[in-house]
Amino acid sequence: MNDIPFTLDQLKIFHVIAVEGSFKRAAENLYLSQPALSLQMQNLEKHLNVTLFERHKKKIKLTDSGQLLLRYATRILALCHETYHALADLQNLQSGTLIVGASQTTGTYLMPRLIGLFRQKYPQINVQLQVHSTRRIAWAVANGQIDIAIIGGEIPIELNGVLNILPYAEDELALVIPKSHIFSKLEKIKKEDLYLLNFITLDNNSTIKKFIYKILQKNGIDSNRFKIEMELNSIEAIKNAVQSGLGAAFISVSAITKELELGLLHWSKIENINIKRMLCIIENPTRYKCKFYKNFFNF
């Protein structure tokens, strides 16, 4: 085995860089310094005698060799996780751990309730919830770090055909405005009225933001004309900003149930437009299923 020109640590680092699309974000994710991470990749390229990355300013792109290594690294890391889960199941027949993943909105507002109900029925099962971007969750399911996940965004194109994608539930995205706003007196607003609002949004990497703008574009609305008051990195921060009268925002209805009931926000309907997305369950059909997977899936 001494002739293998890479280590598992190097494959793990390479995989995280490929998933994050950035050396900087990968270093932060792995709690490594960028120089240490870069050195590991330089050694990997040297030992394999190939170039794995094309570097364009701050962005990186995998070469053909990098794409090939990514496919095998995903399989190798998945087998490592499967081995661990299989041994853990063998050692602990009466209880165990199920690792569940979710994208940001789903993981914050839907999954805690769902997991709470599941634990009432199966108290012996420890459920660990991991909440990240749809991209990171999809890759974690593909490489075996997560057993099953519920996401709201599109999975990376590289994973098409790798994961099973099952429709789960429909999620509506609402335009919310402060209760004090003049539009709150209207039953519905017109498309053109959107250009009069100050918007509070997630950053441009948000899959929800991209999805919303895509739907609006199909309905003849140019999001480039929106007045963006501020960009925030969490739904809770956006809700608080809207409640404080700083602007309007598109937010999943599941995230504002309490605020709507208490009258803290106004859901402003747009004429002839409904923004809905499908939440999906994703799982890897080829990997080892822990003994509690079926319990959670059926539940």
Residue-wise pLDDT tens digits, 226-264? 999 999 988 999 999 999 999 999 999 989 999 999 999
d(CA 224, CA 231): 14
Q: Which long-range contacts (CB under 8 A, 24 or more apart) does 213-217 make?
A: 215/273, 215/275, 216/273, 216/275
Read off the pTM: 0.65
Q: Looking at the predicted structure, is the pLDDT value of residue 1 above 60?
A: no
Looking at domain 171-275, its CATH class is: alpha beta
pLDDT at 201: 92
Q: Residue 80 to residues 29, 85, 287: CA-CA distances in angstroms?
A: 20, 9, 11
For the domain spanning 92-163+284-298, the CATH number is 3.40.190.10
Residues 154/285, Cβ–Cβ less than 8 Å: no
CATH T-level fold of 8-77: Arc Repressor Mutant, subunit A (1.10.10)
What pairs with residue 180 in β-bridges?
A: none
User: What residue segments make up the domains of the chain, in order of their start?
Assistant: 8-77, 92-163+284-298, 171-275
Residue-wise pLDDT tens digits, 188-234? 999 999 999 999 998 877 778 888 999 999 999 999 999 999 999 88
**Could you tell me which residues come within 8 angstroms of residue 225 by beta carbon, excluding any fewer than 6 positions away?**
195
Question: What's the whole-number average pLDDT of the chain?
Answer: 87
Q: Do domains 92-163+284-298 and 171-275 have the same CATH topology?
A: yes
Residue-wise pLDDT tens digits, 37-94? 989 999 999 989 999 998 776 678 899 999 899 988 888 888 887 777 767 665 554 5
Tell me the two tokens of residue 34. 């960028």
